[in-house]
Amino acid sequence: MPGKMAMVDFNKCNPASCANGVCAAAQACPRKLLVQENPREPPMTNPALCRACGDCVRACPHNAISIMQF
């Protein structure tokens, strides 16, 4: 069964430009599935739990996140 999930384009991602280096998209994720190990580092996704709601896509100021079908 096909599914969808959020994917981070690391070439576009620049969390250092987000407030205090904390990724705006990670903060917007209602399930907290985008996780930064440290401020100013790109977030990692948890594809097994992502519901592709799109909140992170809308919150990312760099358009670095998209919803992909797999």
Residue 52 neighbours by CB distance under 10 Å: 16
The correct CATH number of 4-69 out of 3.50.50.60, 3.30.70.20, 3.30.420.40, 3.30.390.10 is 3.30.70.20
Show me where the domains of the chain are located: 4-69
Cβ proximity of 42 and 65 under 8 Å: no
Q: Tell me: the pLDDT tens digits for 1-50? A: 568 999 999 999 999 999 999 999 999 999 999 999 999 999 998 888 89
Q: What span, in angstroms and rounded, lies between the C-alpha atoms of 51 and 62?
A: 21
pLDDT at residue 39 in the model: 94
pLDDT at residue 63 is higher than 60: yes
Q: What span, in angstroms and rounded, lies between the C-alpha atoms of 45 and 49?
A: 9
* CA angle 53–61–36, rounded 5-degree value: 70
